[in-house]
């Protein structure tokens, strides 16, 4: 599937321009646990996956640069002299953002042509935007020999998301997409922007993503609102970020907070603890505890942080009733997208059928199901 994606991009590039000078594959990511902790300087447990963005690029002597989105059959011309965010720019803003942030750093770029295509399901919480940003910055770094480190590249990708897409995301998505390792997940410290890779053996269980195929409109404003709540509570606690807070400290200011804001801050503190417990469970090959922590994480996201939705809660509740599943939770920003499930290999086929039928009956629409493997981060394609 990945090979076909790369082949299609290369073929289209040749058709439109000539031969690509550089080809890059940048993966999407899943997050096993540690949701909404990244912008609180906390811990997360993400992994790159075997779905992503393939991109081909070459220099051009024309006066403008051109980006072609193969999946949408859309082309966009970029003047390097006037790079700014577009109103409702969609995919264009991720590319413009990377170019704009490089130029802002005083880095000189020549004109280029690029073609990209992806197989990350949109709106599924697998960070297609981070994969696209990383593929662009990685390709430009190679094409123009900019000598940027991977850490510098992901910060450019993150700023592109902030300043051009208008989403004040943490660094986890870009980091996992760039630094992922095969068959491993990364215990990531979002303050030091560093990680430790842990090989994971899910034993007789497989990772299954179930996409609700819904995206409720709340997501962007709600995300930014929760970030502000976390920052305000940190200030009240006189700590740099909620990563440094304790439940006892939070209890001391409880009467100064609205109940819903208290619960949001409490969720972040507890989720950070869960990530550490999850790491211990991975080291001990304790699949039962891993599953329990996934369920606890979902409960916190749904009841305390309030970023779930009816469809996500339905899928997790259904998983709880199935002997096939040892743990499940919503994944990503929330209000739609996917649940991540650990499903027994022998019961995989039956579970997929049962959950699909139940979801269809409940919502009169289909969910989508994907198996994913833990994969390596952004890399040059030979």
286 in catalytic set: no
Query: What would the two tokens of residue 85 be?
Result: 């965010």
Q: Measure the CA–CA gap between 245 and 273, rounded to whole angstroms.
A: 11
- Nearest alpha carbon to residue 303 among 263, 258, 268: 263
Query: What would the two tokens of residue 299 be?
Result: 């409960």
Beta carbons within 8 Å of 3's beta carbon, 6+ residues apart: none
Beta pairing partners, 24 = 55, 380
Counting every residue written for the chain, the total comes to 382
Catalytic residue among 61, 173, 244, 313: 173
- Beta strands, E only, the chain: 22-31, 43-44, 46-59, 65-69, 74-78, 112-118, 184-189, 194-199, 205-215, 325-331, 336-344, 368-371, 379-380
Beta carbons within 8 Å of 233's beta carbon, 6+ residues apart: 242, 245, 250, 253, 257, 261, 264, 265
Q: Which one-letter DSSP state was computed for residue 38?
A: G
Sheet holding 194-199: strands in order across? Answer: 43-44, 184-189, 194-199
Q: What phi-psi label fits residue 21: left (phi over 0), alpha (psi between -120 and 50 degrees) or beta?
A: alpha
- Nearest alpha carbon to residue 268 among 71, 46, 34: 34
Q: Measure the CA–CA gap between 275 and 294, rounded to whole angstroms.
A: 10
Residue position matching structure tokens 């646990």 = 33
Q: Measure the CA–CA gap between 353 and 202, rounded to whole angstroms.
A: 22
- Nearest alpha carbon to residue 77 among 9, 69, 26: 69
Q: Cβ(143)–Cβ(21) under 8 Å?
A: yes
CA 183 to chain centre: 18
List the catalytic residues.
Answer: 173
């Amino acid at each position: 599937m990945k090979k076909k994606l790369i082949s299609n991009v290369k073929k289209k590039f040749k058709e439109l321009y000539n031969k690509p000078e550089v080809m890059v594959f940048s993966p999407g990511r899943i997050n096993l646990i540690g949701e909404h902790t990244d912008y609180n300087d906390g811990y997360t447990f993400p992994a790159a996956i075997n779905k992503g963005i393939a991109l081909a690029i070459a220099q051009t002597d024309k006066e403008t640069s051109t980006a072609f989105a193969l999946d949408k059959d859309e082309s966009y011309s970029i003047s390097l002299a006037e790079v700014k965010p577009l109103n409702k720019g969609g995919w264009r803003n991720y590319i413009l953002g990377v170019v704009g942030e490089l130029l802002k750093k005083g880095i000189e770029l020549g004109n280029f042509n690029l073609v990209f295509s992806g197989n990350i399901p949109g709106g599924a919480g697998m960070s297609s935007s981070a994969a696209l940003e990383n593929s662009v910055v990685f390709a430009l770094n190679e094409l123009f020999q900019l000598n940027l480190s991977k850490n510098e590249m992901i910060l450019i990708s993150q700023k592109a998301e902030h300043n051009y897409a208008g989403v004040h995301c943490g660094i986890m998505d870009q980091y996992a997409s760039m630094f992922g390792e095969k068959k491993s997940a990364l215990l990531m410290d979002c303050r030091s922007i560093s990680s430790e890779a842990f090989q994971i053996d899910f034993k007789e269980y497989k990772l299954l993503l179930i996409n609700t195929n819904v995206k409720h409109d709340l997501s962007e404003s709600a995300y930014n609102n929760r970030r502000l709540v976390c920052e305000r509570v940190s200030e009240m606690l006189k700590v740099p970020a909620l990563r440094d807070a304790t439940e006892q400290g939070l209890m001391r200011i409880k009467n100064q907070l609205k109940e819903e804001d208290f619960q949001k801050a409490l969720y972040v503190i507890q989720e950070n603890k869960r990530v550490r417990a999850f790491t211990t469970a991975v080291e001990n090959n304790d699949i039962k505890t891993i599953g329990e922590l996934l369920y606890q994480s979902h409960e916190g996201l749904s009841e305390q942080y309030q970023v779930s939705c009816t469809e996500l809660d339905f899928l997790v509740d259904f998983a709880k009733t199935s002997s096939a599943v040892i743990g499940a939770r919503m994944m990503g920003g929330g209000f739609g997208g996917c649940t991540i499930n650990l499903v027994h290999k022998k019961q995989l086929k039956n579970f997929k059928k049962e959950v699909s039928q139940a979801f269809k009956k409940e919502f009169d629409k289909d969910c989508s199901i994907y198996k994913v493997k833990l994969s390596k981060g952004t890399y040059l394609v030979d």
